A = this chain, B = another copy of it.
Amino acid sequence: MPTKRLPTLEDVAARAGVSRATASRVVNADPRVGSSAREAVHASIRDLGYRPNRAARSLVRPDVASIAVVVPEAEERVFSDPFFSAILGAIYTKLADSPVQVLLAVAPPGRRDKIERYLRGGYTDGAIVVSHHRDDGISDVLREIQLPAVYIGRPHAGDVGLPYVDVDNVTGGMLATQRLIDGGRRRIGTVAGPQDMVSGADRLAGWRRAMGQAGLADDLVEYGDFTAASGGVALQQLLEREPNLDGVFAASDLMAVSVIQELQGRGIDVPGDVAVVGFDDSQVAELTRPPLTTVLSTTTGLARTAVEMLLTLLEGQQVEHVILPTELVPRDSA
């Protein structure tokens, strides 16, 4: 880092032949400044390449709120998984016209110290926690430093009373499974999400419930981690266990995509031989051949609601949790 001292307001003022106070007024567009003084200061700012020192300013006049979006997942993942991209996009869009700053705190599960340091660093006034895992310790830190926070995705049992938004994952899982059942499928497997995430557990629970109500066996379960790579692997195992498989519910679109690819790679027709349903209704769902039948989980709605809740929280008011509805989006894969 260069040690060159940056020009201060004092320098600007001296060069313009006015006091620091007047220079400050010009910078802050205070109308009560004579035009000659104003111009001198402006010229001085330009010549010196002056930029106000944010730290000094916010020390006096606490500046605009900034909120952290906390994502305990690997960086690559956060930006390549359409779920996170959609969440981030919606958060930024929602706050586009507000002065609120958005800071991204991303760190892989193993590096939770990084997020903790960040949170404790005093950078932010509030947090939105996305994709939170059991025992990632984030809620403990947040509680300890008393930072207002909203969770996207229902927190785990231990963290009761925390404000969150979520989609109705159980119903969503049922909807997806029912679609397969209604289509006449009987040997239906599921590629479930990670069970240390509530969304993973709930979607699986939905599948179980629908299967149970239809009097079908709920033994065909394999686990992935919501990424594309994990879907294909899980399908292979499903197929080994049950060659007569005729339907698959994948707990994320990305996993569903690779399930379809794996199936097609083996010469198995989708949906002729095996029907596939995904979850999320992300952009990729329209790009597959055949287009993917999936469950709309309004990612955008999650993000928008979370932002609204956090802003309410920052105003000092209490908020309840919110559950958004899910909806089946029928396409051709099931």
Contacts and interface: CB of A to CB of B under 8 A. Distances in A.
Contacts of A55: 54-59, 62-63
Interface stretch (A149-157, A163-171, A282-290, A321-329): A282-290
Given A2-B315, A287-B288, A89 B76 contact: yes
A314 B75 contact: no
A2 B287 CA distance: 47
A78 interface: yes
A104 B106 contact: no
Contacts of A52: 121-122
Given A144-B49, A257-B287, A314-B1, A79 B75 contact: no
A80 interface: yes
A268 interface: no
19 contacts: A1-B65, A1-B315, A49-B146, A51-B122, A52-B121, A52-B122, A54-B123, A55-B62, A55-B63, A57-B122, A75-B89, A75-B92, A75-B96, A79-B85, A85-B85, A96-B107, A96-B114, A104-B104, A257-B287
Interface in A54-72: 54-59, 62-63, 65
A103 interface: yes
Interface of A: 1-2, 46, 49, 51-59, 62-63, 65, 75-76, 78-80, 82, 85-86, 88-89, 92-93, 96, 101-104, 106-107, 111, 114, 120-123, 125, 144-147, 257, 283-284, 287-289, 314-316
A104 B92 contact: yes
Given A1-B315, A86-B80, A88-B79, A56 B59 contact: yes
